[in-house]
């Protein structure tokens, strides 16, 4: 048995323990399959006592570092949606108790707003160009007659 220290997000750290991770690693080796991408290192450090050969086999099969392999297994098993909902609840509680704004504003709504503005501007320019084109053609027609 070897102790592996893995950096994970605060929300994921609450779900990890050595016995559970050992079970997940064994399940994966019995039926290897595609796993989610590595969510990346977080701020929390979790120490897990696991069989070295088991961790080496999984990380070798996935062709990634041991930390990345452990995080990928954990994300699949815990479920990204459960971690995100736990994180959202934590963010809400922080906002509610401190009145603080979230550090990560909703960029998807900002991107949607920006895309809408760009489409609106493009249509306006297209409309004005067509109006100027037809106006100039009309004035050329009255000058030639």
Q: Within this chain, do residues 23 and 74 fall inside the same structural domain, yes or no?
A: yes
Same-domain check for residues 43 and 87: yes
81 and 116 belong to one structural domain: no
Residue pLDDT, tens place only, 36-65: 888 888 899 999 999 999 999 999 999 999
Residues 85 and 114 in one domain: no
Q: How far is residue 121's CA from residue 112's CA, in Å, rounded to a whole number?
A: 14
Q: Which of 74, 56, 58 is nearest to 13 (CA)?
A: 74
Do residue 119 and residue 70 come from a single domain? no
Is the pTM higher than 0.85? The answer reads no
Per-residue model confidence as pLDDT tens digits over 88-100: 555 555 555 555 4
Residue that is written with structure tokens 């290192």 in the block: 41
């Amino acid at each position: 048995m070897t102790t592996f220290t893995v950096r994970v997000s605060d929300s994921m750290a609450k779900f990890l323990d050595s016995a559970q991770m050992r079970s997940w690693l064994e399940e994966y080796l019995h039926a290897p399959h595609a796993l989610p991408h590595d969510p990346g290192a977080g701020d929390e450090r979790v120490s897990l006592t696991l069989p070295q050969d088991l961790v080496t086999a999984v990380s070798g099969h996935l062709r990634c570092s041991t930390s990345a392999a452990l995080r990928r297994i954990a994300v699949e098993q815990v479920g990204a949606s459960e971690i995100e909902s736990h994180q959202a609840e934590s963010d809400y509680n922080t906002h509610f108790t401190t009145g603080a704004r979230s550090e990560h504003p909703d960029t998807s709504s900002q991107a949607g707003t920006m895309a809408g503005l760009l489409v609106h501007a493009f249509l306006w320019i297209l409309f004005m160009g067509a109006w100027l084109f037809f106006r100039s053609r009309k004035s050329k027609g009255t000058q030639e007659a």
